[in-house]
Amino acid sequence: MTYDNGPWGRWREIGDRVFVRRNKTLDVNAGLILGEDHCLVVDTRSSEREGRELYRAVRSVTGLPHVVALTHSHFDHCFGTSVFAEAQPDCEIWAHERCHAELATSGLQQRVEISGFLRESGEEVLADELDAVTITLPNRLVGTDARIDLGGREVVLHHPGRGHTDNDLVVEVPDADVTFLGDLVEQGAPPSFDHAYPLDWAVTLTRLLDRVGRVIVPGHGAVVDVDFLARQRQEIAEVADLARRLPPDLDDTELEWQAGRLAVGAASGLIALRRAQEHLQQLAQLQ
Give the model confidence (pLDDT) of 259-284 as tens digits: 999 999 999 999 999 999 999 988 87
Compute the Cα dihedral for 75, 80, 84, 89 and give only its sign: positive
Distances (CA, A) of 108 to 49, 135, 234: 18, 7, 35
Confidence class for position 85, pLDDT limits 50, 70, 90: very high
- CATH code of the domain covering residue 154: 3.60.15.10
Is-contact 86 94, C-beta < 8 A?
no
Within a domain: 217: yes
Beta strands (DSSP E) in 124-176 are 140-142, 145-149, 154-158, 170-173
Comparison of pLDDT for 5 and 95, the residue scoring more: 95
What pLDDT does residue 1 have?
Answer: 62
Q: What is the 3-state secondary structure (H, E, C) of 21-76?
A: EEECHHHEEEEEEECCCCEEEECCCCCHHHHHHHHHHHHCCCCCCEEEECCCCCHH
- Minimal CA–CA distance to 238: which of 248, 226, 249, 246? 246
Within a domain: 53: yes
Q: What is the 3-state secondary structure (H, E, C) of 196-239?
A: CCHHHHHHHHHHHHCCCCCEEEECECCEECHHHHHHHHHHHHHH
pTM of this prediction exceeds 0.85 = yes
Confidence class for position 181, pLDDT limits 50, 70, 90: very high
Give the model confidence (pLDDT) of 151-163 as tens digits: 999 999 999 999 9
Confidence class for position 2, pLDDT limits 50, 70, 90: low
Within a domain: 140: yes
- Minimal CA–CA distance to 242: which of 259, 256, 257, 254? 259
Q: Is the pLDDT of residue 3 over 70?
A: no
- How many domains is the chain partitioned into structurally? 1
Within a domain: 257: no
List the domain range (segments joined by +) for residue 30.
2-226
CA distance linking residue 268 with residue 270, whole number of Å: 5
Give the model confidence (pLDDT) of 101-122 as tens digits: 999 999 999 999 999 999 999 9
